[in-house]
Amino acid sequence: MLPNPFPDHISFCLLSVHSTLNQNLHPAEENYLSLVSSPSRKQQYRSGRICAKEALSRLGIKDQPVLRDSDTREPIWPENISGAITHSGNWVAAATGRTTTVSGIGLDLEDMERNINPGISKHVCIREENEWLEELDDLYVDQALKLIFSAKESIFKAFFPSTRIFLHFHDARIFLEDSIFQSSKPESFPNEKQKSQSRVIEFEYLILNREVIRQKGKSRGKGKAQFFESYVLTSVYY
């Protein structure tokens, strides 16, 4: 349904959760799953691993489990592999790449129709982002806030595996083109008529955590946001 948001050396897979229900996991993954009591968590784990298996197979890697770190809850990828898994509602996505060609991959799926408390903006956004939100037409504030949230989630997933630093929402700033949200151009942002179409916008980000900047030698980057149905998939890599 969605084109690969990454360059060719990073594999990408998007699946409906329903399509993963009857597929088998690696024995080690099944063993882990037997320890999970929540039905919803079982489903999330199963669908995420099936999607990860498909992404890995596109790199030529087969029969390798993707377990879960009990402390950080991050996926444990095969040696020399970087990757990310995300799920929301009816969909699950995964991306993988070899560490010789990519240091970090981040993905996040969000349902743009999910109700959120506008008050979370003070926790998600830094001052400059909140000021930018205040200048938007009310029609777009909710969607813009969700997009900022999702973009930051992708960034944090991309940088944690190699830095071992938990980034917080105020450790990054997201830059979006104003024209995407201008009320004079309502067609520039996905609306009810456009949900069946895949649309892509780009965003820029700035890392504000000094230790991450010191370790990685970079503070800026770019990402993508792909809209389909009622969802947005954000992605970054470096």
Domain end residue (candidates: 102, 122, 142): 102
Mean pLDDT of the chain: 92
Q: How confident is the model over 132-167, as pLDDT tens digits?
A: 999 998 889 999 999 999 999 999 999 999 999 999
Q: How far apart are CA 238 and CA 234, in angstroms?
A: 14
Q: How far apart are CA 152 and CA 15, in angstroms?
A: 23
**C-alpha distances out from residue 124 to 62, 146, 168, 174, 199, Å:** 38, 9, 9, 11, 24
Domain boundary among 102, 137, 164: 102
- How much is the pLDDT for 207? 98
Token code pair at residue 141: 């504030």
Query: Residue 181 pLDDT more than 70?
Result: no
Of 81, 102, 123, the residue at which a domain comes to its end is: 102
139 and 224 together in one domain: yes
Residue listed under structure tokens 């806030």: 145
Predicted pLDDT of residue 177: 84
Query: What's the pLDDT tens digit per position in 73-128?
Result: 999 999 999 999 999 999 999 999 999 999 999 999 999 999 888 899 999 999 99
Residue 3 within a domain: no
Q: What is the CA radius of gyration of the chain?
A: 18
| Same domain as 85, residue 113 | no
Considering the domain boundaries, does residue 147 fall inside one?
A: yes
Judge if 98 and 113 occupy the same domain. Answer: no
pLDDT of residue 187: 45
Q: Which domain holds residue 84?
A: 10-102
